[in-house]
Structure 1
Amino acid sequence: MPDTTSWFTEVAPRVWVAHYDWMHVNITLVGGSDGLLMVDTHGSAEAARVVADDVRRLGAGPLTGIVNTHEHWDHHFGNATMVEQFGEMPIHATEWARDHIEVSAGHTFAHYEQATDHPRREEVLATTLHLPTHTFSSAVQLDLGDRAVELIHPGRGHTAGDLVVRVPDADVLLGGDLIEESDPPFIGDDSWPLEWPTTLDLVISLMSDATVVVPGHGTVVDKDFVQDQRAEMGVIAETIRDLASRGVPQSQALAEGEWPWDPALLESAVRLGYEHLPRSQKRLPLV
Protein backbone atom coordinates (compact mmCIF):
# COMPACT_ATOMS: atom_id res chain seq x y z
CA MET A 1 0.00 0.00 0.00
CA PRO A 2 2.23 2.84 -1.24
CA ASP A 3 1.99 6.30 0.22
CA THR A 4 0.71 9.21 -1.80
CA THR A 5 3.58 10.49 -3.91
CA SER A 6 4.97 13.76 -2.61
CA TRP A 7 7.28 16.20 -4.30
CA PHE A 8 10.08 17.75 -2.33
CA THR A 9 9.51 21.48 -1.82
CA GLU A 10 12.36 23.90 -1.18
CA VAL A 11 11.63 25.68 2.12
CA ALA A 12 15.02 27.46 2.34
CA PRO A 13 18.10 27.51 0.10
CA ARG A 14 18.96 23.86 -0.67
CA VAL A 15 16.65 22.52 2.03
CA TRP A 16 13.71 20.49 0.71
CA VAL A 17 10.82 18.94 2.63
CA ALA A 18 8.41 16.25 1.46
CA HIS A 19 5.25 15.64 3.47
CA TYR A 20 3.67 12.19 3.20
CA ASP A 21 0.05 11.41 3.97
CA TRP A 22 0.74 8.29 6.04
CA MET A 23 1.24 9.58 9.60
CA HIS A 24 1.83 13.08 8.16
CA VAL A 25 5.55 12.28 8.19
CA ASN A 26 8.10 14.82 6.96
CA ILE A 27 11.28 13.77 5.16
CA THR A 28 13.88 16.53 4.70
CA LEU A 29 16.86 16.80 2.36
CA VAL A 30 19.72 19.19 3.08
CA GLY A 31 21.95 19.82 0.10
CA GLY A 32 25.68 20.49 0.06
CA SER A 33 28.41 20.34 -2.54
CA ASP A 34 29.22 16.78 -1.41
CA GLY A 35 25.64 15.51 -1.73
CA LEU A 36 22.33 15.29 0.11
CA LEU A 37 21.68 14.55 3.77
CA MET A 38 18.28 12.93 4.42
CA VAL A 39 16.61 13.47 7.79
CA ASP A 40 14.36 10.50 8.65
CA THR A 41 13.37 7.79 6.19
CA HIS A 42 9.65 6.93 6.79
CA GLY A 43 7.83 3.95 8.27
CA SER A 44 8.36 0.96 5.96
CA ALA A 45 10.55 -0.28 3.13
CA GLU A 46 7.67 0.19 0.69
CA ALA A 47 6.99 3.77 1.79
CA ALA A 48 10.71 4.53 1.61
CA ARG A 49 10.84 3.41 -2.02
CA VAL A 50 8.40 6.22 -2.83
CA VAL A 51 10.69 8.62 -0.98
CA ALA A 52 13.69 7.34 -2.95
CA ASP A 53 11.84 7.95 -6.21
CA ASP A 54 11.06 11.48 -5.06
CA VAL A 55 14.75 12.09 -4.30
CA ARG A 56 15.64 11.05 -7.86
CA ARG A 57 12.88 13.19 -9.28
CA LEU A 58 14.23 16.20 -7.41
CA GLY A 59 17.60 15.72 -9.10
CA ALA A 60 19.54 17.79 -6.55
CA GLY A 61 22.46 15.39 -6.18
CA PRO A 62 23.40 12.02 -4.71
CA LEU A 63 22.16 10.90 -1.31
CA THR A 64 25.29 10.64 0.85
CA GLY A 65 24.03 10.55 4.46
CA ILE A 66 21.03 9.94 6.72
CA VAL A 67 19.95 11.24 10.12
CA ASN A 68 17.39 9.48 12.32
CA THR A 69 15.88 12.00 14.74
CA HIS A 70 15.02 9.31 17.32
CA GLU A 71 14.37 5.60 17.75
CA HIS A 72 10.69 5.38 16.77
CA TRP A 73 9.96 3.22 13.75
CA ASP A 74 8.24 5.83 11.58
CA HIS A 75 11.52 7.74 11.39
CA HIS A 76 13.95 4.93 10.52
CA PHE A 77 12.15 1.94 8.99
CA GLY A 78 13.23 3.29 5.57
CA ASN A 79 16.96 3.13 6.36
CA ALA A 80 17.60 -0.21 4.66
CA THR A 81 15.76 0.90 1.54
CA MET A 82 17.87 4.04 1.22
CA VAL A 83 21.07 2.02 1.51
CA GLU A 84 19.78 -0.49 -1.06
CA GLN A 85 18.78 2.28 -3.46
CA PHE A 86 21.72 4.68 -3.05
CA GLY A 87 24.58 2.63 -1.56
CA GLU A 88 26.27 2.50 1.82
CA MET A 89 26.37 5.81 3.67
CA PRO A 90 26.70 7.07 7.25
CA ILE A 91 23.48 7.00 9.30
CA HIS A 92 23.57 9.33 12.28
CA ALA A 93 21.61 9.20 15.55
CA THR A 94 22.12 9.78 19.24
CA GLU A 95 23.74 6.98 21.20
CA TRP A 96 20.50 6.45 23.10
CA ALA A 97 18.46 6.12 19.93
CA ARG A 98 20.93 3.69 18.38
CA ASP A 99 20.99 1.55 21.52
CA HIS A 100 17.17 1.40 21.80
CA ILE A 101 16.06 1.06 18.17
CA GLU A 102 15.86 -2.73 18.25
CA VAL A 103 13.74 -2.81 21.40
CA SER A 104 11.47 -0.05 20.09
CA ALA A 105 11.11 -1.78 16.72
CA GLY A 106 10.29 -5.03 18.49
CA HIS A 107 7.29 -3.37 20.10
CA THR A 108 6.19 -2.10 16.68
CA PHE A 109 6.51 -5.50 15.02
CA ALA A 110 4.60 -7.12 17.89
CA HIS A 111 1.83 -4.54 17.53
CA TYR A 112 1.45 -5.12 13.80
CA GLU A 113 1.55 -8.90 14.23
CA GLN A 114 -1.62 -8.51 16.31
CA ALA A 115 -3.20 -5.87 14.04
CA THR A 116 -4.49 -8.38 11.52
CA ASP A 117 -6.92 -5.92 9.90
CA HIS A 118 -4.45 -3.03 9.52
CA PRO A 119 -4.02 -2.15 5.81
CA ARG A 120 -0.28 -1.63 6.22
CA ARG A 121 0.40 -4.66 8.38
CA GLU A 122 2.26 -6.68 5.75
CA GLU A 123 4.46 -3.85 4.54
CA VAL A 124 5.52 -2.93 8.07
CA LEU A 125 6.28 -6.55 8.97
CA ALA A 126 8.28 -6.93 5.74
CA THR A 127 10.65 -4.12 6.74
CA THR A 128 14.27 -4.92 7.61
CA LEU A 129 16.02 -2.90 10.30
CA HIS A 130 19.20 -1.01 9.40
CA LEU A 131 20.76 0.55 12.47
CA PRO A 132 22.56 3.91 12.61
CA THR A 133 26.29 3.66 12.01
CA HIS A 134 27.45 6.94 13.59
CA THR A 135 26.37 8.14 17.04
CA PHE A 136 26.99 11.04 19.40
CA SER A 137 25.93 12.02 22.91
CA SER A 138 25.65 15.82 22.93
CA ALA A 139 26.36 17.51 19.60
CA VAL A 140 28.20 16.87 16.36
CA GLN A 141 28.83 18.85 13.16
CA LEU A 142 28.48 17.22 9.75
CA ASP A 143 30.43 18.49 6.76
CA LEU A 144 28.44 18.57 3.52
CA GLY A 145 31.26 20.21 1.58
CA ASP A 146 30.26 23.84 1.35
CA ARG A 147 27.83 23.65 4.26
CA ALA A 148 27.92 22.58 7.91
CA VAL A 149 24.96 20.92 9.59
CA GLU A 150 24.67 20.55 13.37
CA LEU A 151 23.06 17.62 15.18
CA ILE A 152 22.15 18.48 18.76
CA HIS A 153 20.68 16.39 21.57
CA PRO A 154 18.82 19.11 23.52
CA GLY A 155 17.60 16.87 26.35
CA ARG A 156 14.86 14.35 27.03
CA GLY A 157 11.35 14.94 25.78
CA HIS A 158 9.51 12.83 23.23
CA THR A 159 12.12 10.18 23.99
CA ALA A 160 15.47 10.14 25.79
CA GLY A 161 17.25 10.07 22.42
CA ASP A 162 15.81 13.01 20.49
CA LEU A 163 17.99 15.15 18.28
CA VAL A 164 17.37 18.32 16.33
CA VAL A 165 19.10 19.30 13.11
CA ARG A 166 20.27 22.87 12.60
CA VAL A 167 21.26 24.29 9.22
CA PRO A 168 22.80 27.61 10.33
CA ASP A 169 23.42 29.25 6.94
CA ALA A 170 19.80 28.66 5.86
CA ASP A 171 18.30 29.38 9.32
CA VAL A 172 16.43 26.06 9.35
CA LEU A 173 15.78 23.79 12.31
CA LEU A 174 14.40 20.26 12.02
CA GLY A 175 12.72 19.35 15.29
CA GLY A 176 11.86 15.69 14.96
CA ASP A 177 8.97 14.73 17.21
CA LEU A 178 9.90 17.25 19.88
CA ILE A 179 7.72 19.47 17.66
CA GLU A 180 4.58 18.29 15.86
CA GLU A 181 2.05 20.25 13.83
CA SER A 182 -0.45 17.67 12.58
CA ASP A 183 -1.49 16.74 16.15
CA PRO A 184 -0.30 17.62 19.63
CA PRO A 185 3.10 16.05 20.31
CA PHE A 186 2.74 12.40 21.19
CA ILE A 187 3.55 11.69 24.83
CA GLY A 188 4.14 7.96 24.96
CA ASP A 189 5.40 5.41 27.43
CA ASP A 190 9.02 6.36 26.72
CA SER A 191 8.52 10.14 26.97
CA TRP A 192 9.72 12.61 29.61
CA PRO A 193 6.84 15.06 30.07
CA LEU A 194 8.37 16.96 33.00
CA GLU A 195 11.63 17.59 31.12
CA TRP A 196 10.14 18.26 27.67
CA PRO A 197 9.45 21.99 28.30
CA THR A 198 13.03 22.78 29.30
CA THR A 199 14.30 20.71 26.38
CA LEU A 200 12.20 22.91 24.10
CA ASP A 201 13.70 25.98 25.78
CA LEU A 202 17.10 24.89 24.48
CA VAL A 203 15.64 24.19 21.04
CA ILE A 204 14.06 27.66 20.94
CA SER A 205 17.41 29.20 21.89
CA LEU A 206 18.78 27.84 18.60
CA MET A 207 16.22 29.82 16.59
CA SER A 208 15.95 33.35 15.29
CA ASP A 209 12.64 35.08 14.71
CA ALA A 210 12.90 34.05 11.05
CA THR A 211 13.84 30.38 11.53
CA VAL A 212 12.06 27.88 9.31
CA VAL A 213 11.04 24.99 11.60
CA VAL A 214 10.28 21.55 10.20
CA PRO A 215 8.35 19.35 12.67
CA GLY A 216 8.45 15.59 12.58
CA HIS A 217 4.81 15.50 11.46
CA GLY A 218 2.70 18.19 9.81
CA THR A 219 3.35 21.43 7.97
CA VAL A 220 6.37 23.71 8.31
CA VAL A 221 6.04 26.13 11.25
CA ASP A 222 7.92 29.01 12.86
CA LYS A 223 9.40 30.04 16.19
CA ASP A 224 6.07 31.41 17.47
CA PHE A 225 4.45 28.02 16.92
CA VAL A 226 7.19 26.27 18.87
CA GLN A 227 6.92 28.77 21.71
CA ASP A 228 3.17 28.14 21.89
CA GLN A 229 3.71 24.39 21.94
CA ARG A 230 6.35 24.78 24.63
CA ALA A 231 3.86 26.79 26.71
CA GLU A 232 1.31 23.98 26.44
CA MET A 233 3.89 21.39 27.44
CA GLY A 234 4.82 23.62 30.36
CA VAL A 235 1.20 23.78 31.51
CA ILE A 236 1.02 19.98 31.42
CA ALA A 237 4.21 19.61 33.46
CA GLU A 238 3.24 22.24 36.03
CA THR A 239 -0.28 20.85 36.36
CA ILE A 240 1.16 17.44 37.18
CA ARG A 241 3.49 18.99 39.76
CA ASP A 242 0.65 21.00 41.30
CA LEU A 243 -1.72 18.05 41.53
CA ALA A 244 0.91 15.82 43.09
CA SER A 245 1.97 18.50 45.58
CA ARG A 246 -1.66 18.84 46.71
CA GLY A 247 -1.93 15.09 47.25
CA VAL A 248 -4.27 14.41 44.32
CA PRO A 249 -3.84 10.70 43.51
CA GLN A 250 -2.58 9.81 40.06
CA SER A 251 -5.85 7.97 39.45
CA GLN A 252 -7.79 11.25 39.81
CA ALA A 253 -5.35 13.63 38.15
CA LEU A 254 -6.81 13.54 34.63
CA ALA A 255 -10.28 14.33 35.97
CA GLU A 256 -9.17 17.09 38.34
CA GLY A 257 -6.57 18.88 36.24
CA GLU A 258 -7.21 21.74 33.81
CA TRP A 259 -5.40 20.51 30.72
CA PRO A 260 -4.56 22.31 27.44
CA TRP A 261 -5.29 19.14 25.44
CA ASP A 262 -7.88 16.39 25.48
CA PRO A 263 -7.17 14.45 28.70
CA ALA A 264 -7.38 11.22 26.72
CA LEU A 265 -4.05 12.20 25.12
CA LEU A 266 -2.40 12.65 28.50
CA GLU A 267 -2.74 9.30 30.24
CA SER A 268 0.94 8.44 29.74
CA ALA A 269 1.99 12.01 30.58
CA VAL A 270 0.29 11.89 33.97
CA ARG A 271 1.50 8.40 34.83
CA LEU A 272 5.08 9.18 33.84
CA GLY A 273 4.97 12.60 35.45
CA TYR A 274 3.97 11.13 38.79
CA GLU A 275 6.67 8.46 38.42
CA HIS A 276 9.37 10.99 37.56
CA LEU A 277 8.60 13.47 40.31
CA PRO A 278 11.01 13.40 43.25
CA ARG A 279 9.47 12.35 46.55
CA SER A 280 9.84 15.90 47.91
CA GLN A 281 7.31 17.16 45.34
CA LYS A 282 4.59 14.69 46.26
CA ARG A 283 2.21 14.80 49.17
CA LEU A 284 1.88 11.24 50.36
CA PRO A 285 0.08 8.95 50.31
CA LEU A 286 -0.55 8.77 46.57
CA VAL A 287 -2.36 5.89 44.95
Structure 2
Amino acid sequence: MGFEEIADRVWVSRRAWCDVNVTVVRGERGLVVVDTHGSLASGRALVDDVRALGRGEVVAVVTTHDHYDHAFGTGAFLEAWGPLPVHAHETAAALLTEAARRGTGDYRGEHAAEVHATEVVVPDHVFSSAAVLDLGDRALELVHPGRGHTAGDLVVRVPDADVLLAGDLVEEAPPAGAGDGAVPAYGADSFPLEWPWSLDVVLSLTTARSVVVPGHGSPVDRDFVEVQRNEIGLVATEIRDLVARGVPEAEALATGSWPYPAATLTDAVARGYSQLPRTPRRLPLV
Protein backbone atom coordinates (compact mmCIF):
# COMPACT_ATOMS: atom_id res chain seq x y z
CA MET A 1 0.00 0.00 0.00
CA GLY A 2 3.00 2.29 -0.32
CA PHE A 3 3.53 4.67 -3.22
CA GLU A 4 4.87 3.85 -6.68
CA GLU A 5 6.23 6.59 -8.93
CA ILE A 6 4.39 6.37 -12.27
CA ALA A 7 5.81 9.56 -13.82
CA ASP A 8 8.12 12.40 -12.84
CA ARG A 9 7.21 13.26 -9.22
CA VAL A 10 3.81 11.58 -9.46
CA TRP A 11 3.21 8.69 -7.06
CA VAL A 12 0.17 6.42 -6.76
CA SER A 13 -0.85 4.25 -3.82
CA ARG A 14 -3.42 1.54 -4.47
CA ARG A 15 -5.13 1.01 -1.12
CA ALA A 16 -6.46 -2.43 -0.25
CA TRP A 17 -9.79 -1.25 1.15
CA CYS A 18 -12.03 -0.47 -1.85
CA ASP A 19 -9.02 -0.90 -4.17
CA VAL A 20 -8.97 2.90 -4.37
CA ASN A 21 -6.11 5.00 -5.73
CA VAL A 22 -4.52 7.92 -3.92
CA THR A 23 -2.05 10.11 -5.81
CA VAL A 24 0.68 12.47 -4.64
CA VAL A 25 2.09 15.12 -7.00
CA ARG A 26 5.20 17.09 -6.08
CA GLY A 27 6.21 20.58 -7.12
CA GLU A 28 8.75 23.01 -5.75
CA ARG A 29 6.10 24.41 -3.38
CA GLY A 30 5.23 21.03 -1.88
CA LEU A 31 2.95 18.03 -2.30
CA VAL A 32 -0.65 17.83 -3.46
CA VAL A 33 -2.64 14.76 -2.38
CA VAL A 34 -5.47 13.72 -4.68
CA ASP A 35 -8.12 11.79 -2.71
CA THR A 36 -7.67 10.73 0.90
CA HIS A 37 -9.36 7.30 1.29
CA GLY A 38 -12.42 6.35 3.31
CA SER A 39 -12.13 7.27 6.98
CA LEU A 40 -10.10 9.27 9.48
CA ALA A 41 -8.24 6.08 10.47
CA SER A 42 -7.38 5.13 6.90
CA GLY A 43 -6.40 8.73 6.26
CA ARG A 44 -3.94 8.59 9.15
CA ALA A 45 -2.35 5.46 7.68
CA LEU A 46 -2.12 7.30 4.39
CA VAL A 47 -0.45 10.28 6.10
CA ASP A 48 2.22 7.88 7.41
CA ASP A 49 2.85 6.60 3.89
CA VAL A 50 3.07 10.12 2.48
CA ARG A 51 5.60 11.04 5.15
CA ALA A 52 7.55 7.88 4.37
CA LEU A 53 8.03 9.16 0.82
CA GLY A 54 10.27 11.86 2.28
CA ARG A 55 9.46 14.25 -0.55
CA GLY A 56 8.27 17.30 1.36
CA GLU A 57 5.24 18.74 3.05
CA VAL A 58 1.64 18.50 1.88
CA VAL A 59 0.34 21.90 0.78
CA ALA A 60 -3.10 21.01 -0.62
CA VAL A 61 -5.69 18.25 -0.97
CA VAL A 62 -7.87 17.61 -4.02
CA THR A 63 -11.09 15.58 -3.83
CA THR A 64 -12.20 14.04 -7.13
CA HIS A 65 -15.81 13.52 -5.94
CA ASP A 66 -17.88 13.20 -2.80
CA HIS A 67 -17.91 9.43 -2.22
CA TYR A 68 -16.60 8.33 1.16
CA ASP A 69 -13.82 6.10 -0.19
CA HIS A 70 -12.21 9.12 -1.85
CA ALA A 71 -13.04 11.93 0.58
CA PHE A 72 -13.44 10.88 4.19
CA GLY A 73 -9.74 10.66 5.09
CA THR A 74 -9.15 14.38 4.59
CA GLY A 75 -9.31 15.20 8.30
CA ALA A 76 -6.09 13.24 8.88
CA PHE A 77 -4.21 15.60 6.56
CA LEU A 78 -5.53 18.64 8.40
CA GLU A 79 -4.38 17.03 11.65
CA ALA A 80 -0.93 16.47 10.21
CA TRP A 81 -0.35 19.68 8.23
CA GLY A 82 -2.80 22.21 9.60
CA PRO A 83 -5.51 24.12 7.71
CA LEU A 84 -4.69 22.96 4.19
CA PRO A 85 -6.79 24.14 1.24
CA VAL A 86 -9.13 21.35 0.12
CA HIS A 87 -10.15 21.64 -3.53
CA ALA A 88 -13.25 20.13 -5.15
CA HIS A 89 -15.95 20.85 -7.69
CA GLU A 90 -18.71 23.02 -6.24
CA THR A 91 -21.30 20.24 -6.50
CA ALA A 92 -19.05 17.74 -4.74
CA ALA A 93 -18.51 20.30 -1.98
CA ALA A 94 -22.28 20.79 -1.63
CA LEU A 95 -22.78 17.02 -1.38
CA LEU A 96 -20.05 16.74 1.25
CA THR A 97 -21.69 19.60 3.15
CA GLU A 98 -24.87 17.52 3.24
CA ALA A 99 -22.88 14.46 4.31
CA ALA A 100 -21.32 16.46 7.14
CA ARG A 101 -24.77 17.64 8.26
CA ARG A 102 -26.28 14.18 8.04
CA GLY A 103 -23.35 12.36 9.65
CA THR A 104 -22.00 8.90 8.81
CA GLY A 105 -24.14 6.79 11.13
CA ASP A 106 -26.13 5.26 8.27
CA TYR A 107 -23.03 3.70 6.69
CA ARG A 108 -23.16 -0.11 6.93
CA GLY A 109 -20.28 -1.23 4.73
CA GLU A 110 -16.76 -2.42 5.36
CA HIS A 111 -14.89 -0.65 8.19
CA ALA A 112 -18.19 0.80 9.43
CA ALA A 113 -16.81 1.67 12.87
CA GLU A 114 -14.02 3.71 11.27
CA VAL A 115 -16.44 5.57 9.03
CA HIS A 116 -18.82 6.30 11.92
CA ALA A 117 -15.92 7.80 13.88
CA THR A 118 -15.06 10.16 11.00
CA GLU A 119 -16.02 13.81 10.83
CA VAL A 120 -16.59 14.78 7.20
CA VAL A 121 -14.41 17.65 5.97
CA VAL A 122 -16.06 20.02 3.52
CA PRO A 123 -13.79 21.38 0.75
CA ASP A 124 -13.17 25.10 1.08
CA HIS A 125 -11.72 25.83 -2.39
CA VAL A 126 -14.35 25.15 -5.06
CA PHE A 127 -14.76 25.87 -8.77
CA SER A 128 -17.40 25.37 -11.44
CA SER A 129 -15.53 24.48 -14.65
CA ALA A 130 -11.75 24.61 -14.24
CA ALA A 131 -9.04 25.76 -11.84
CA VAL A 132 -5.24 25.70 -11.64
CA LEU A 133 -3.01 24.83 -8.69
CA ASP A 134 0.37 26.56 -9.00
CA LEU A 135 3.20 24.51 -7.52
CA GLY A 136 5.90 26.83 -8.77
CA ASP A 137 7.69 24.69 -11.32
CA ARG A 138 4.54 22.89 -12.42
CA ALA A 139 0.80 23.50 -12.52
CA LEU A 140 -2.07 21.10 -11.89
CA GLU A 141 -5.22 21.62 -13.94
CA LEU A 142 -8.50 20.74 -12.24
CA VAL A 143 -11.32 20.19 -14.74
CA HIS A 144 -14.99 19.34 -14.31
CA PRO A 145 -15.70 17.51 -17.59
CA GLY A 146 -19.39 17.07 -16.85
CA ARG A 147 -21.57 14.66 -14.94
CA GLY A 148 -20.94 10.93 -15.02
CA HIS A 149 -20.06 8.81 -12.02
CA THR A 150 -21.47 11.66 -9.90
CA ALA A 151 -22.67 15.22 -10.44
CA GLY A 152 -19.42 16.69 -9.12
CA ASP A 153 -16.62 14.72 -10.78
CA LEU A 154 -13.29 16.36 -11.47
CA VAL A 155 -10.11 15.20 -13.16
CA VAL A 156 -6.57 16.43 -12.49
CA ARG A 157 -4.17 16.95 -15.38
CA VAL A 158 -0.41 17.13 -14.81
CA PRO A 159 0.61 18.52 -18.20
CA ASP A 160 4.40 18.34 -17.92
CA ALA A 161 4.23 14.66 -16.90
CA ASP A 162 1.37 13.79 -19.30
CA VAL A 163 -0.63 12.24 -16.46
CA LEU A 164 -4.37 12.45 -15.95
CA LEU A 165 -6.00 11.53 -12.63
CA ALA A 166 -9.50 10.51 -13.65
CA GLY A 167 -11.23 9.66 -10.39
CA ASP A 168 -14.13 7.26 -10.84
CA LEU A 169 -14.99 8.54 -14.31
CA VAL A 170 -12.60 5.76 -15.38
CA GLU A 171 -12.47 2.35 -13.69
CA GLU A 172 -9.91 -0.40 -14.25
CA ALA A 173 -11.02 -2.64 -11.38
CA PRO A 174 -14.56 -4.05 -11.27
CA PRO A 175 -16.90 -3.05 -8.44
CA ALA A 176 -17.66 -5.63 -5.78
CA GLY A 177 -19.64 -8.57 -7.14
CA ALA A 178 -19.03 -7.69 -10.80
CA GLY A 179 -16.62 -10.53 -11.51
CA ASP A 180 -13.56 -10.01 -13.69
CA GLY A 181 -13.03 -7.20 -16.14
CA ALA A 182 -13.19 -3.43 -15.99
CA VAL A 183 -16.71 -2.25 -15.20
CA PRO A 184 -17.59 1.36 -14.36
CA ALA A 185 -19.39 1.84 -11.07
CA TYR A 186 -22.90 3.04 -11.84
CA GLY A 187 -24.50 4.18 -8.60
CA ALA A 188 -27.78 5.70 -7.53
CA ASP A 189 -26.22 9.16 -8.02
CA SER A 190 -24.73 8.53 -11.47
CA PHE A 191 -25.61 10.11 -14.81
CA PRO A 192 -25.35 7.26 -17.33
CA LEU A 193 -26.69 9.28 -20.26
CA GLU A 194 -24.15 12.11 -19.81
CA TRP A 195 -21.15 9.99 -18.81
CA PRO A 196 -20.01 9.33 -22.43
CA TRP A 197 -19.92 13.07 -23.18
CA SER A 198 -17.89 13.72 -20.04
CA LEU A 199 -15.39 11.08 -21.12
CA ASP A 200 -15.09 12.83 -24.48
CA VAL A 201 -13.78 15.84 -22.55
CA VAL A 202 -11.46 13.58 -20.53
CA LEU A 203 -10.06 12.11 -23.75
CA SER A 204 -9.45 15.60 -25.11
CA LEU A 205 -7.09 16.16 -22.17
CA THR A 206 -4.92 13.16 -23.03
CA THR A 207 -2.37 12.19 -25.65
CA ALA A 208 -1.33 8.84 -27.08
CA ARG A 209 1.38 8.70 -24.39
CA SER A 210 -0.73 9.73 -21.41
CA VAL A 211 -0.83 7.73 -18.20
CA VAL A 212 -4.38 7.75 -16.83
CA VAL A 213 -4.93 6.90 -13.17
CA PRO A 214 -8.43 5.50 -12.60
CA GLY A 215 -10.30 5.78 -9.35
CA HIS A 216 -9.86 2.05 -8.78
CA GLY A 217 -7.35 -0.37 -10.26
CA SER A 218 -4.10 -0.06 -12.19
CA PRO A 219 -3.06 2.93 -14.31
CA VAL A 220 -4.19 2.69 -17.93
CA ASP A 221 -3.53 4.36 -21.27
CA ARG A 222 -5.66 6.44 -23.62
CA ASP A 223 -6.74 3.39 -25.61
CA PHE A 224 -8.29 1.87 -22.48
CA VAL A 225 -10.24 5.07 -21.83
CA GLU A 226 -11.47 5.14 -25.43
CA VAL A 227 -12.77 1.57 -25.14
CA GLN A 228 -14.50 2.29 -21.85
CA ARG A 229 -16.02 5.49 -23.22
CA ASN A 230 -17.48 3.53 -26.13
CA GLU A 231 -18.88 0.86 -23.81
CA ILE A 232 -20.45 3.50 -21.57
CA GLY A 233 -21.82 5.09 -24.73
CA LEU A 234 -23.42 1.76 -25.67
CA VAL A 235 -25.15 1.65 -22.27
CA ALA A 236 -26.54 5.15 -22.80
CA THR A 237 -27.68 4.33 -26.35
CA GLU A 238 -29.36 1.13 -25.22
CA ILE A 239 -31.25 2.90 -22.44
CA ARG A 240 -32.49 5.55 -24.86
CA ASP A 241 -33.58 2.88 -27.33
CA LEU A 242 -35.45 0.88 -24.69
CA VAL A 243 -37.30 3.98 -23.51
CA ALA A 244 -38.11 5.00 -27.08
CA ARG A 245 -39.54 1.52 -27.77
CA GLY A 246 -41.69 1.71 -24.66
CA VAL A 247 -39.98 -1.19 -22.89
CA PRO A 248 -40.95 -1.03 -19.19
CA GLU A 249 -38.10 -0.31 -16.82
CA ALA A 250 -38.72 -3.61 -15.03
CA GLU A 251 -37.99 -5.47 -18.28
CA ALA A 252 -35.08 -3.36 -19.46
CA LEU A 253 -32.18 -5.36 -18.03
CA ALA A 254 -33.49 -8.61 -19.48
CA THR A 255 -34.43 -7.04 -22.81
CA GLY A 256 -31.39 -4.91 -23.54
CA SER A 257 -28.08 -5.85 -25.11
CA TRP A 258 -25.37 -4.70 -22.71
CA PRO A 259 -21.56 -4.46 -22.81
CA TYR A 260 -21.38 -5.24 -19.08
CA PRO A 261 -23.05 -7.85 -16.86
CA ALA A 262 -26.69 -6.86 -16.44
CA ALA A 263 -26.39 -7.19 -12.65
CA THR A 264 -23.98 -4.21 -12.61
CA LEU A 265 -26.42 -1.96 -14.48
CA THR A 266 -29.42 -1.83 -12.14
CA ASP A 267 -28.73 1.75 -11.11
CA ALA A 268 -27.71 2.75 -14.64
CA VAL A 269 -31.07 1.69 -15.99
CA ALA A 270 -33.02 3.24 -13.12
CA ARG A 271 -31.18 6.52 -13.45
CA GLY A 272 -31.40 6.55 -17.23
CA TYR A 273 -35.13 5.88 -17.22
CA SER A 274 -35.66 8.64 -14.65
CA GLN A 275 -33.76 11.11 -16.83
CA LEU A 276 -35.68 10.46 -20.05
CA PRO A 277 -39.28 11.28 -20.97
CA ARG A 278 -41.48 8.27 -21.55
CA THR A 279 -42.53 7.55 -25.13
CA PRO A 280 -46.08 6.19 -25.34
CA ARG A 281 -46.61 3.00 -27.29
CA ARG A 282 -48.15 3.54 -30.73
CA LEU A 283 -49.50 1.17 -33.32
CA PRO A 284 -47.25 0.94 -36.37
CA LEU A 285 -48.32 2.89 -39.43
CA VAL A 286 -48.94 0.77 -42.52
Q: Could you list the per-position Cα deviations for residues 205-225 of structure 1 after superposition, in whole angstroms to 9, with x for gaps in the alignment?
A: 110000000011111111111
Aligned to 1:55, the other structure's residue is in SS state: helix
Do the aligned partners of 1:72 and 1:104 also contact (CA within 8 Å) in 2? no
- CA shift for structure 1 position 103: 3.0
Distance, in Å, in 1 between the alignment partners of 2:111 and 2:101 is 17
- CA shift for structure 1 position 107: 7.3
Do the aligned partners of 1:7 and 1:54 also contact (CA within 8 Å) in 2? yes
TM-score (norm 1): 0.92
Distance, in Å, in 2 between the alignment partners of 1:33 and 1:42 is 25
1:206 and 2:201 equivalent? no
Distance, in Å, in 2 between the alignment partners of 1:196 and 1:244 is 18
How do residues 53-92 of structure 1 correspond to structure 2 at under 5 angstroms?
53-92=48-87
2:97 is aligned to 102
User: What RMSD in Å do the two structures reach over aligned CA positions?
Assistant: 1.5
Paired residue for 1:149, among 125, 140, 149?
140
How many aligned positions are there?
Answer: 274
**Percent identity, aligned pairs only?**
53
1:33 and 2:31 equivalent? no
Distance, in Å, in 2 between the alignment partners of 1:63 and 1:12 is 19
Aligned to 1:160, the other structure's residue is in SS state: coil
1:276 is aligned to 275
Compared CA separation, residues 110 and 167, structure 1 to 2 (3 A): same
- CA shift for structure 1 position 84: 0.1
Aligned to 1:109, the other structure's residue is in SS state: coil
Amino acid at match of 1:235: L
Moved over 4 A (4+): 104-108
Amino acid at match of 1:88: P
Amino acid at match of 2:138: R
1:17 is aligned to 12
Paired residue for 1:174, among 165, 170, 182?
165
How do residues 133-144 of structure 1 correspond to structure 2 at under 5 angstroms?
133-144=124-135
Distance, in Å, in 1 between the alignment partners of 2:157 and 2:206 is 9
Do the aligned partners of 1:73 and 1:104 also contact (CA within 8 Å) in 2? no
Unaligned 5+ residue runs, structure 2?
Answer: 175-182
- CA shift for structure 1 position 106: 6.8
Compared CA separation, residues 51 and 201, structure 1 to 2 (3 A): same
- CA shift for structure 1 position 268: 1.0
Aligned to 1:180, the other structure's residue is in SS state: coil
1:165 is aligned to 156
Which shows bigger deviation, 263-272 or 26-35? 263-272
Unaligned 5+ residue runs, structure 1?
Answer: 1-5
Q: Could you list the per-position Cα deviations for residues 248-277 of structure 1 after superposition, in whole angstroms to 9, with x for gaps in the alignment?
A: 111111110011111111111111111111
Compared CA separation, residues 270 and 108, structure 1 to 2 (3 A): farther
1:226 and 2:257 equivalent? no
TM-score (norm 2): 0.92
Do the aligned partners of 2:103 and 2:119 also contact (CA within 8 Å) in 1? no
Amino acid at match of 2:263: A
Do the aligned partners of 1:73 and 1:108 also contact (CA within 8 Å) in 2? no
Distance, in Å, in 1 between the alignment partners of 2:140 and 2:216 is 21
1:93 and 2:92 equivalent? no
Amino acid at match of 2:223: D
1:120 and 2:125 equivalent? no
Distance, in Å, in 1 between the alignment partners of 2:141 and 2:191 is 23
